[in-house]
Amino acid sequence: MSNATKYWGVLCQTCSGPIAFDTRPYNRSGLGSANTKPGAIRCGLDHNHIYFPRDFRFFPSDGPITDATMQENRAAYEGVNASSKPASDLDPALWSGVRSA
């Protein structure tokens, strides 16, 4: 049995390097959930791929992944994929002046 920490994220489609966004238990809402749109994620070796909610999972890592690294991963994901946030997570001020048909 391994004492490896479990992380929430994706494994790079090219190099299988871990791209962690959170630890177990999963505390962040939205990222990788069923209502998240596909988005681009770049690994530490600059491999860039589009990932879907089904690509996110828990994976073990024998080496620690720091909170700062996971925060950077979340910020990079949200910066590149700003439109991937579910509407319920967006600031209501962004909806001012929007009219429904």
Q: Is the pLDDT of residue 48 over 90?
A: yes
Contact status, residue 26 vs residue 84, Cβ threshold 8 Å: no
Number of domains into which the chain is organized: 1
**Is 49 part of any domain?**
yes
Q: 15: helix, coil or strand?
A: coil
**Is 52 part of any domain?**
yes
What pLDDT score does 98 carry? Answer: 41
Segment among 21-30, 59-68, 92-101 with least mean pLDDT: 92-101
* pLDDT tens digits along 51-83: 999 999 999 987 899 999 999 998 999 888 876
What pLDDT score does 85 carry? Answer: 54
Contact status, residue 23 vs residue 7, Cβ threshold 8 Å: yes
What pLDDT score does 90 carry? Answer: 47
Q: Residues near 1 by Cβ (< 8 Å), separated by ≥ 6?
A: none
| Domain of residue 48, residue span | 5-95
Average pLDDT, stretch 39-49?
93
Which ranges in the chain belong to alpha helices (H)? 67-80
**Is 101 part of any domain?**
no
Q: 68: helix, coil or strand?
A: helix
Instruction: Fill in the DSSP letter of residue 45.
Output: T
Nearest to 37 by CA among 50, 48, 27: 50
What pLDDT score does 65 carry? Answer: 92
